[in-house]
Amino acid sequence: MDERTTPPGGPDLGGPSSIETRITDYVRLGVIVLFAYWSYTLVAPFILIVIWAAILTVAVYPLYEALQSLLGGRRRVAAFLITLLGLGIIIGPLTAIAFNFVEAMQWLISKLTTGSLQFPSPPDAVRSWPILGERVYSAWLLAATNLGEALEHMQPALLQAGRFVLGKSAAIGLGLINFIISIVLAGFLFGHGPSLASGINRFAERIAGQRGLGFVQLTGATIRNVASGVIGVAIIQTLMAGLVLYFFAIPASGGLTFAILILCIMQIGPALVLLPVVIWAWMIQDLSYALSLTVLLVPVALVDNVMKPLLVSRGLSTPMLVIFMGVIGGTIAYGLIGLFLGPIVLSVFYDLLIAWVRVQTPSRLPNSASEPRF
C-alpha cells in the first residue's frame, strides 16, 4: 500500500483543497464580523434606549399580566394603561424639578438685576478654616458689602459654572427624552413578550445548554428584584417626600426632591436631605408648621424599611456596594438614564458572576417553565 495514500477517515490537511476551504471559512468569518460591526454602528445610538425598554418590560411584565386578566385579556389596553402610568411617574417629577430649577434661576436673575440680593456678613470663625479660610472670608465679605464688584471679580468662574450648568441641563433634557422613548417602546414590547422570551431561551440554550436557561431566569429574577426593591421603593419614597416638600412650600423643593431620589437609589436614604429641612423648619417657622412637617416627613423617611421586605425577593440580595457603584458609574457614563440603568445592570452581572463561580450543575438550576415568560 502506498504510504502517500490519504487515509479513509480524513482529508489531506496539507492539500490545495484544504487550504481553499480554510480561506473560504476565513472570508465568511470576515464578512460576518464586518456585518456585525456595521450593524452595531447603526444601532449604537439606540442601544441604551432598547436595553432600558427591555429592562422595563421584564420588571413590569407581572403587572401587565395581572392588568390584562382584569381587563378580560385586552393586551393593547393593558399595555396602553401601563405606558401612561410609566410616563406619569417619570415625566411628572422630572418636569416639576425642571420648572423649579427655572423658577429658581429667574428669581436669582431678578434679584441680581434689581440689586436686592443681599448676603449677611461672614462670621469671624470662617477665617480659622484650614487652607481656604481667608479666601472664603474675603470673598464672602466682598459679596456682603459690594455685590457688584464681587460678581465682576468672579465673572470668569461664574461663566464657567454657567456653561457647566447649561451642559448638565441639556444632558438631563436628553435623558428625559430617552426615558420617554424607552417607556413607549416598552409598551410595544409587552404584546410580544412570550415570543421574545422564547427566542431568548432558545438562544441561551444553544449557547450554554440547560445552564443558559437557568442564567436567563436568574437575570429576570434579579431585574425584578432590583427594579421593585431598589428603583421602585426609591421612586415611591421620592414622590411622597416631594409632595410634602411641595405642599409646605419648602425652598428649592425640586432640587431637594432630585437629591432624595439619588440618595434613595444609592440605598443611603432621604435622611441627609430631610433632617436639615426639619431643623430649618423648627428654627425658622412657627410651631404648628414645624410639627406638621415633622409628623409627615418621619414616616416618609422610614417607609423603605416597610416596603423593601415586601418587595425584595428572598435569596437575591445584592450588596449595597454593588448598587452604589452602579448608581455612580451609570450616572457618570450615561447621565440620567444611567442613574436607573447602572444599578440594575451591575446587579445582574454580580448575580450571574456569583452563580457562575459556584459552578452549579444543571440539575441545581431552576427548571425552565413550560411556557416562555419574562
Give one DSSP letter per residue of 19-31, joined into a string. Answer: HHHHHHHHHHHHH
Residue-wise pLDDT for 317-346, tens only, equals: 677 788 888 888 887 777 777 777 888 888
Please give the Cα distance from 97 to 18 (Å, whole number): 67
Whole-number Å distance between alpha carbons of 246 and 248: 5
User: 118 in a domain, yes or no?
Assistant: no
C-alpha cell, 86? 410609566
Q: Is residue 347 part of a domain?
A: yes
pLDDT reading at 88 higher than 60? yes
Task: Give 257-306 pLDDT, tens digit per residue.
Answer: 878 888 888 878 888 888 988 888 888 888 888 899 899 988 888 887 77
Instruction: Please determine, for residue 361, whether its predicted confidence score (pLDDT) is greater than 60.
Output: no
Mean pLDDT of the chain: 77
pLDDT at 168: 67
Prediction pTM value: 0.66
Q: Is residue 85 part of a domain?
A: no
Which strand (E) or helix (H) includes residue 301?
Answer: helix 287-311
> Is the confidence at residue 237, as pLDDT, over 70?
yes
**pLDDT attached to residue 15:** 58
The C-alpha cell at 74 is: 385586552
Task: Identify whether 311 is part of a domain.
Answer: yes
Number of domains comprising the chain: 1
CB 219 within 8 A of CB 226: no
| In a domain? residue 229 | yes
Cα separation, 254 vs 22, in Å, equals: 64
**Residue 362's domain spans which residues?**
209-368
SS3 breakdown of the chain: % helix, strand, coil, rounded to 5? 80, 0, 20
Tell the burial category of 324 from Cβ atoms under 10 Å away from its Cβ (0-12, 13-18, 19+).
middle
Residue 369 has pLDDT above 50, yes or no: no
Residue 68 has pLDDT above 70, yes or no: yes
In which band, very low, low, confident or very high, does the pLDDT at 1 lie, cut at 50, 70 and 90? Answer: very low
Distance CA 222, CA 215 (A): 10
pLDDT at position 32 over 60: yes
Mean pLDDT lowest among 79-93, 139-153, 204-218, 328-342? 139-153
What is the mean predicted confidence (pLDDT) over 232-242? 85
Q: Is 261 within a domain?
A: yes
Q: Is-contact 274 301, C-beta < 8 A?
A: yes
Given a cut of 50, whether residue 186 has pLDDT beyond it is: yes
Rg (CA), the chain: 29
Kindly state the percentage of the chain with pLDDT values over 90.
1
Cell of 118: 443681599
In a domain, 76, yes or no: no
Q: If you search the block for the grid coordinates 385586552, which residue do you land on?
A: 74
Helices (DSSP H) in 154-247: which residue ranges?
A: 155-190, 193-226, 233-247
Angle of CA points 195, 313, 236, to nearest 5°: 90
More confident residue, 50 or 172: 50
Mean pLDDT of 43-51: 83
Q: Report the pLDDT averaged over residues 120-128.
A: 76
Q: Look at residue 123 and tell me if it is in a domain.
A: no
